[in-house]
Amino acid sequence: MALQSLDIKQRSATTTPAPQARQTVEIAKLIDVSACIGCKACQVACMEWNDVRDEVGSCHGIYDNPVDLTENSWTVMRYAEVEEQGKLEWLIRKDGCMHCSDPGCLKACPAPGAIIQYANGIVDFHQENCIGCGYCVSGCPFNVPRISKKDSKAYKCTLCSDRVAVNQAPACAKACPTGAIQFGSKEDMKDYAEKRIADLKERGYEKAGLYDPAGVGGTHVMYVLHHADKPDLYSGLPVNPSISPMVALWKGATKPLAALALAGVALGSLFHYVMKGPNEVSKEIEKEVEKEDAQ
């Protein structure tokens, strides 16, 4: 197997550092919510490329279909009807993995090599190394990973790492008929977003802006929002996403402390053995016990 077709930045539960010398382009996907018509071509293209098919569901009286991310639906459109500035607005957000620079899933993951962050920014799950513990689900500030009922492994958007590795855009970005999903270097995407935001501001959306939250070190899936001051309008997009402090506690303090305690016990036993030696049983007791056994 050819290894490392994309340079690795981080690998879950791995202390060996990855090679860091090469500088590759940081990529990003930009979702322009103001240009989205909610056609779901991205959802279909995602399933088609990744060879996953969801079960045919039922109508819940809303456009969201399926109503939530699943192990087979790595992206879903979320439709929110809100009243802003005295008029009804239909805010349609393409939900899915944000590919954080500081990924909570990777931090929380205890399985070596189950979650990889590539140097280009993609955070990818390797199901063959996944143990299905679900820590990534609690570690994710955006509630994205889903555990499959079929194989008990975690699945989510890969940002089409297999396409990006051969210099192709993700399937969703390629399919999008209105150009609401753009793909390129993170720098280019920020420039593109700036133009879109200027246009929106001109059209009366004074609070238009880019969603690239600093709480997770920035993301590699960014949104252009008409109401960047209120991301929660967009079906609960977190205002200040950050990794749960429990993850930091478990990986930051608990783990080295436990390792230290373990090493202390090992060292203590060694000293005990050197100083006191093995536990000796006196001849008299041994005889007594033998006598008892004989009876």
Partner 1 sequence: MQMNRRQFFKICSAGLGGSSIAVMGFSPTAALAEVRAFKLARATETRSTCPYCSVACGLLVYSTGDKSKNSHSEIIHVEGDPDNPVNRGTLCPKGAGVRDMMQSKDRLKWPEVREPGAKEWKRISWHDAIERIAKHMKADRDKNFVAQNKDGVTVNRWPTFAALAASAATNEGGYITVKMLRTLGVTQLDTQARI
Contact footprint for partner 1 (CB under 8 A): 1-6, 8, 11, 13-19, 39-41, 43-45, 47-49, 51, 53, 112-113, 116, 118, 124, 126, 158, 161-163, 165-166, 171, 174-177, 179, 255, 258-259, 262-263, 266
Phi, psi dihedral angles at 11 (to 5 degrees): -140, 135
The β-bridge partners of 27 are 185
Nearest distance in Å: CB 269, partner 1: 8
Contact yes or no for 216/141 (Cβ under 8 A): yes
Nearest distance in Å: CB 84, partner 1: 28
Nearest distance in Å: CB 102, partner 1: 18
Measured distance CA(223)–CA(259) in Å, rounded: 41
> Among the residues of 51-175, which ranges form H helices?
104-108, 135-139, 161-164, 171-175
Q: Name which of 40 and 196 has its Cβ closer to partner 1.
A: 40
Residues 6+ apart with CB under 8 A from 93: 31, 33, 36, 77, 78, 80, 223, 234, 235, 237
Q: Name which of 62 and 266 has its Cβ closer to partner 1.
A: 266
Contact yes or no for 33/224 (Cβ under 8 A): yes
Residue in the block written with tokens 């290894």: 3
Nearest distance in Å: CB 117, partner 1: 9
Nearest distance in Å: CB 215, partner 1: 26
Residue in the block written with tokens 């555990």: 147
